[in-house]
């Protein structure tokens, strides 16, 4: 059985004061031991703050991106090793905002995935189609291209212990959620694609859904057999919403 997880993506939001208030509110609800992994991916300058507040708790922390380079003359980059040194467990790679706004290509994303693995982070590898691609019946072709890029560069064994997030671009930050059936169809396709190269591994791979998940729609999405939790943007900034989503994945609060 895949492990369940609910991961927040704070994007470009936060301040020392706001982060502290949010994390303290989450800590009141989320116990140190529980069966559904819970994590927040914060802007990199706040990784140390998150570590200070969350160490020893039931909430892990991570970055939203890492450099594909290990070190050197790459102004502005943050390496996976730097993120890991701050105690982070996760890093998102290939989020659609990185792909569309910052030009991350499939090739760059898989290099980032490899860099995160090398630093012993758990990469959260995002894939998903645009509205135009969905309406043009190209959803599966796009998912296949993105997943195959990773399989070709890293090999299927590198997916063991990683996480995939299906995030239809048209559902991110738009308030328009994929239906449970649409999410299930895409997740089953992704799992099947990976199963063709590693059946057991695909069977235990955590595949998260992301795209306008809220407390009110999480349970229906998470009830799907191939949906193992969520990657949560906007709703992860509101403690009650994020906790409600985490509970919907089968977790029990304090």
Footprint on this chain of ligand PEP (rule: CB under 6 A): 9, 11, 95, 167, 172-173, 210-213, 231-235
- Read off the tokens for 43: 């802007």
Q: Yes or no: say if 227 and 204 are a contact pair by the CB < 8 Å rule.
A: no
Q: Which of 29, 111, 129, 167 is catalytic?
A: 167
Q: Which of 29, 95, 97, 111 is catalytic?
A: 95
Closest separation in Å from C-beta 155 to ligand PEP: 26
User: Alpha carbon of 173 to those of 121, 187, 230: distances in Å?
Assistant: 26, 20, 14
Alpha-carbon distance of 95 to 223, in angstroms, equals 24
Considering beta carbons, is residue 93 or 213 the nearer one to ligand PEP?
Answer: 213
Q: Which of 168, 88, 78 has the alpha carbon at shortest distance from 128?
A: 168
Considering beta carbons, is residue 86 or 231 the nearer one to ligand PEP?
Answer: 231
Other CB atoms within a 10 A radius of the CB of residue 106 amount to: 18
Considering beta carbons, is residue 75 or 142 the nearer one to ligand PEP?
Answer: 142
Closest separation in Å from C-beta 172 to ligand PEP: 4
Burial classification of residue 88, based on how many CB atoms lie within 10 Å of its CB (0-12 exposed, 13-18 middle, 19 or more buried):
buried
Considering beta carbons, is residue 62 or 233 the nearer one to ligand PEP?
Answer: 233
95 annotated active-site: yes
Q: What are phi and psi of 140, to 5 degrees?
A: -65, -35
85 annotated active-site: no
Closest separation in Å from C-beta 166 to ligand PEP: 10
Alpha-carbon distance of 51 to 46, in angstroms, equals 9
Alpha-carbon distance of 233 to 36, in angstroms, equals 18
Closest separation in Å from C-beta 234 to ligand PEP: 4
Closest separation in Å from C-beta 9 to ligand PEP: 4
Considering beta carbons, is residue 58 or 211 the nearer one to ligand PEP?
Answer: 211
Active site residues: 95, 167
């Amino acid at each position: 059985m895949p492990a369940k997880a609910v991961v927040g993506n704070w994007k470009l939001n936060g301040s020392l004061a706001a982060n502290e208030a949010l994390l303290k509110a989450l800590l009141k609800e989320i116990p140190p031991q529980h069966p559904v992994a819970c994590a927040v991916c914060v802007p990199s300058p706040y990784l140390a703050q998150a570590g200070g507040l969350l160490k020893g708790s039931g909430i892990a922390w991570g970055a939203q991106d890492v450099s594909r380079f290990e070190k050197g003359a790459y102004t502005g980059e943050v390496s996976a090793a730097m993120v890991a040194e701050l105690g982070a467990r996760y890093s998102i790679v290939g989020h659609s905002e990185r792909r569309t706004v910052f030009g991350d290509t499939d090739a760059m994303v898989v290099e980032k995935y490899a860099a995160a693995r090398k630093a012993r982070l758990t990469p959260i590898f995002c894939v998903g189609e645009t509205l135009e691609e969905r309406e043009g019946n190209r959803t599966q072709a796009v998912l296949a291209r993105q997943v195959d890029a990773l399989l070709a560069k890293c090999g299927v064994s590198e997916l063991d212990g990683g996480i995939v997030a299906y995030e239809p671009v048209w559902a991110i930050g738009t308030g328009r959620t994929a239906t449970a059936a649409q999410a299930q169809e895409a997740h089953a396709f992704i799992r099947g694609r990976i199963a063709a190269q590693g059946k057991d591994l695909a069977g235990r791979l955590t595949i998260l859904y992301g795209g306008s998940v809220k407390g009110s729609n999480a349970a229906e999405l998470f009830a799907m057999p191939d949906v193992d939790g969520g990657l949560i943007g906007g709703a992860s900034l509101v403690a009650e919403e994020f906790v409600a989503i985490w509970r919907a994945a089968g977790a029990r609060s304090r």
